Structure 1
Amino acid sequence: MSSHETSRAADSLLARTVATAAARRLLEVREANANLDGRALKDLGDTEAQKLIAGMLAEHVPDDAVLSEEAADSEARLRSSRVWIIDPLDGTREFSEGRADWAVHVALVIDGDLAVGAVALGGPEVVLVSEDVTTHAPAHEGPIRIAVSRTRPPVLVEHVADALDAELVPMGSAGVKISSVVSGASDAYIHGGGQYEWDSAAPIAVARAAGLHTSRLDGSTLVYNQPNPYLPDLVVCRPELKDRVMAAVSAALADQPE
Structure 2
Amino acid sequence: MHSGTDHALAHALATSAGEVLLRVRSGSYPGTDALKDAGDAAAHAHLVTRLRAARPGDAVLSEEGADDAARLGADRVWIVDPLDGTREFAEAGRTDWAVHVALWERGELVAGAVALPAEGVTLGTATPAALPARAEGPVRLAVSRSRPPALVQELAAALGAELVPMGSAGVKAMAVVRGQADAYVHGGGQYEWDSAAPVAVARAAGAHTSRVDGSPLAYNQADPYLPDLVVCRPELTGRLLGALADLGPARTDGGNRA
- Global fold match (TM > 0.5): yes
Counterpart check, 1:192 vs 2:187: yes
Q: 2:255 maps to what in 1?
A: none
Q: 1:53 maps to what in 2?
A: 47
- Other structure's SS at 1:204 match: helix
Q: 1:38 maps to what in 2?
A: 32
Distance 1:256 1:207, change over 3 A: closer
Q: 1:239 maps to what in 2?
A: 234
Spell out the pairing of 1:7-22 with structure 2 (5 A cutoff): 7-22=2-17
Identity of aligned residues (%): 57
Counterpart check, 1:101 vs 2:96: yes
Aligned-residue offset at 1:183: 0.4
- Other structure's SS at 2:224 match: coil
Q: 1:218 maps to what in 2?
A: 213
Q: 2:256 maps to what in 1?
A: none
Cα deviations by residue, 1:43-72 (Å, 9 ceiling, x for unpaired) = 110000001111100111111000000000
Aligned residues: 251
Cα deviations by residue, 1:21-40 (Å, 9 ceiling, x for unpaired) = 1000101001012x431111
Structure 1 residues not aligned, in runs of 5+: none
The TM-score normalised by the length of structure 2 is 0.94
Counterpart check, 1:153 vs 2:157: no
8 Å Cα contact 1:20/1:123 also seen in 2:
no
Q: What's the RMSD between the two structures over aligned residues?
A: 1.5
Q: 2:65 maps to what in 1?
A: 71
Equivalents in 1 of 2:69, 2:34: separation in Å? 30
Equivalents in 2 of 1:57, 1:221: separation in Å? 27
8 Å Cα contact 1:24/1:124 also seen in 2:
no
8 Å Cα contact 2:123/2:129 also seen in 1:
no
Query: Which residue of 78, 100, 103 maps to 1:84?
Result: 78
Cα deviations by residue, 1:119-154 (Å, 9 ceiling, x for unpaired) = 001347200011311521111111110000011001
Query: Which residue of 117, 121, 135 maps to 2:112?
Result: 117
Equivalents in 1 of 2:48, 2:181: separation in Å? 32
